[in-house]
Structure 1
Amino acid sequence: MTEKEFIPTSYTAMENEGVVTYSSPSNIALIKYWGKLEHQIPANPSISFTLNECSTTTSVQYKKLETPGKEFSFELLFEGRSKEDFKPKINTFLQRVEKYLPFLKDYHFVINTSNTFPHSSGIASSASGMSALALCFMEIERSFLKEMPPEYFNKKVSFLSRLGSGSACRSNQGPIMQWGESTAIEDSSNLYGVVYPYLIHENFKNYQDTILLVDKGEKQVSSTVGHELMHDHPYAKSRFEQAHSNLKRLKDIFASGDLDAFITIVESEALTLHAMMMTSNPYFILMKPNTLEIINRIWKFRSQSKTHVCFTLDAGANVHVLYPENEKETVFTFIKEGLAPFCQSGQYICDQVGQGAKKL
């Protein structure tokens, strides 16, 4: 599909008021995207596990204005309280998507959002938050049209989410989402994420993700800035080629159930992501000493226990500990006893692969 196909020609009927609520999860990338072009287009393809417990619930109340406004009319509440510092990001999002949702200036919106995880925990709240908001707006648009095929709805939700936060386009469905053009994935697109369409071995069903909260503080460098630094990065071309290659390899791994090969790809991707940060100009380090301690302890435990526990990292210090469901008891005991002491205030979040967003 092209961008033009997401522009509606007309609405059959526009309601005066209503309310819609969605819950959308965060996701954790296995193949990382780092670097983007104009209009939130990824410089390389990525693939992710959709999470289940770490989610954002967003409710949008809408009421038609007597006269369409020149600006967007909305209030923003976070967990029931006004959150003025969130409004500029939402306003930017509305500016980007207005072309595709031409009703936005016809209504006043009250947006009320909350997370199932602590806001300062370092979980990708922009992914779940922008996905949930896009779902609400798309549900409103669907009510203005006689028919909207589910496939079109899901693609446009992902397309709109991407314009708010790149990784958000991988949150509305599950269990595995892929984003970015790749010869390995049929119908892949830079414009939106797609549900991974090929065989997934039983080994990867209900995969576990325990998120270790190493540092809940604000990152010294935002992901937006980090992505921009890839434009003149000396290793950018090699990195983008590596991502394409790893995605092809992961396709075979998902089919065969080869957990050892899965570990190699996932951990290499995480370390490469941080290597790009450490070799950009300016360079920066987001890992903390406890991040490295946890990684070393995972490697040692995996060797001793013969389990298939591994780690991945987003652009931050926190560690996602991944492991198959049939090893949950053994690995989780290790996490509680061997890794939790290296978390801030001993905090961690238990999650697993999920199926995507839900209308509430």
Structure 2
Amino acid sequence: MSNDSFVASSKNASVEKGEFTWEAPSNIALVKYWGKLENQIPANPSVSFTLSNCKTTTTLKFVKASEYSLFNQVKFDVYFEGQQKDSFKPKIADFFERIYKYCPYLDSYEFEIHSENSFPHSSGIASSASGMSALALGIMSLEKELNPEMDDDYFYKKSSFLARLGSGSACRSVQGNLVVWGQHAEIERSSNEYGIAYPYQIHPVFTDFQDTILLVDKGQKQVSSTVGHNLMKGHPFAEARFSQAHDNLKNLIPVFENGDLDKFIEIVEREALTLHGMMMSSSPYFMLMKPNTLAIINKIWEKRAVSKIPVCFTLDAGANVHMLYPSQNKTEILEFIKNELVGYCENGHYICDEVGEGSKLL
């Protein structure tokens, strides 16, 4: 499906006013997207678990504009957890500008965006994926009101396509529970333009996999994702990294089918460490892990060696640790966290999550 197929057929603005509320989850990548081309195209494919509890709820209110205005003068206000948030406006204005070609009806309306997270804004959990996907879904609900013949397949593909233009990983938060983004030779219908639900068999062990997020550092990220992705341009190890991501995703296909947790752990942990290795060897270079991150990783390795429980870790571009493990081991792992790991978390904070089913219209 080409970009042009996502251009709305007209500027039809026959709906006077309304509102839609969408709930969209965050996600955690197993094979990491790191490095991008123009227009938010990923330099390598990725696959992620859609989460369940870490989510953004966004209400998009709209009313027909009183007079025509140029798109870059479109009126919108942003409210976060009940408070007007003008500091969010530049990013959303950029998003609207990027998607205007595909949604030319936007400048016929004035918008209010009301958003809130199920997790603390300062928790160190990135909300761009859940936030931009929820907003994209609201916009597509308006478009479907204007074009009622739209089918669900097109609705969700374009929602993911639009979300990607706001935040790359947001395209993986539209549907669940396992999502692929980026073209891969062995995954049918995979696309650089939008995420797709993983199309092959998934072993039952992965359908309710647990993700407990240990909040080592709840401060602002040391380096923005945009800067981090750009550091892959000219990186001495970039091409090898992109090839590794393709190989790791290929090797996960039989793992997702047969539930081989030893192989799953090997791939997922190597992906996490490679991501941080790329940042440590870029120019300029960054160390995103903290001493407590390393302490937790070593504790997880010790626990796995002694107990034989298939628990592992992954990392985003920050210090926090995502502990991944089967639901049948939840009781013992939570005891392990309380007894041995909570002291490494900032203010003892951690978040319990699990694989979910994707976005929901409320």
TM-score > 0.5 by shorter chain = yes
| Shorter-chain TM-score range | over 0.9
Match for residue 34 of structure 2?
34
1:355 aligned to 343, 354, 357, which one?
Answer: 357
Give the Cα separation in 2 of the matches to 1:296 and 1:88.
41
C-alpha contact 2:25 2:51 (8 A) present in aligned 1: yes
The CA deviation string for residues 98-139 of structure 1, in whole angstroms up to 9 with x for no partner, is 111111111110101000001111212000000000000000
Match for residue 314 of structure 2?
312
Q: Does 1:206 align with 2:217?
A: no
C-alpha contact 1:209 1:321 (8 A) present in aligned 2: yes
- Kindly state the Cα deviation for residue 184 of structure 1 after the two structures are TM-superposed: 1.8
Alignment of 1:136-155 (within 5 A): 136-155=138-157
Identity among equivalent positions (%) equals 59
Bigger mean CA offset, 144-153 vs 36-45: 144-153
Normalization by structure 2: what TM-score? 0.98
Q: For residue 122 of structure 2, give the secondary structure of its aligned residue in structure 1.
A: coil
Alignment of 1:288-327 (within 5 A): 288-327=290-329
Give the Cα separation in 2 of the matches to 1:121 and 1:14.
41
Alignment of 1:240-255 (within 5 A): 240-255=242-257
Detail structure 1 runs of 4+ shifted over 6 Å in the superposition.
none
C-alpha contact 1:51 1:353 (8 A) present in aligned 2: yes
2:97 aligned to 81, 95, 98, which one?
Answer: 95
Match for residue 66 of structure 2?
66
Q: For residue 119 of structure 1, give the secondary structure of its aligned residue in structure 2.
A: coil
Unmatched tracts of structure 1, length 5 or more: none
2:177 aligned to 150, 162, 175, which one?
Answer: 175
- Kindly state the Cα deviation for residue 275 of structure 1 after the two structures are TM-superposed: 0.1
Unmatched tracts of structure 2, length 5 or more: none
Q: For residue 42 of structure 1, give the secondary structure of its aligned residue in structure 2.
A: coil
C-alpha contact 1:27 1:124 (8 A) present in aligned 2: no
Bigger mean CA offset, 212-221 vs 37-46: 212-221
C-alpha contact 1:184 1:247 (8 A) present in aligned 2: no
Aligned residue pair count = 360
C-alpha contact 1:11 1:145 (8 A) present in aligned 2: no
The CA deviation string for residues 184-242 of structure 1, in whole angstroms up to 9 with x for no partner, is 21010000000001011122120000001100111121111010010110000000000
Q: Does 1:50 align with 2:78?
A: no
Give the Cα separation in 2 of the matches to 1:35 and 1:96.
19
Match for residue 258 of structure 2?
256
Matching residue's letter, 2:142: I
Alignment of 1:104-123 (within 5 A): 104-123=106-125
Matching residue's letter, 1:10: S
The CA deviation string for residues 319-353 of structure 1, in whole angstroms up to 9 with x for no partner, is 00000011111111111211111100000000000
Q: For residue 202 of structure 2, give the secondary structure of its aligned residue in structure 1.
A: coil
Q: For residue 340 of structure 1, give the secondary structure of its aligned residue in structure 2.
A: helix
Q: For residue 19 of structure 1, give the secondary structure of its aligned residue in structure 2.
A: strand
Match for residue 189 of structure 2?
187
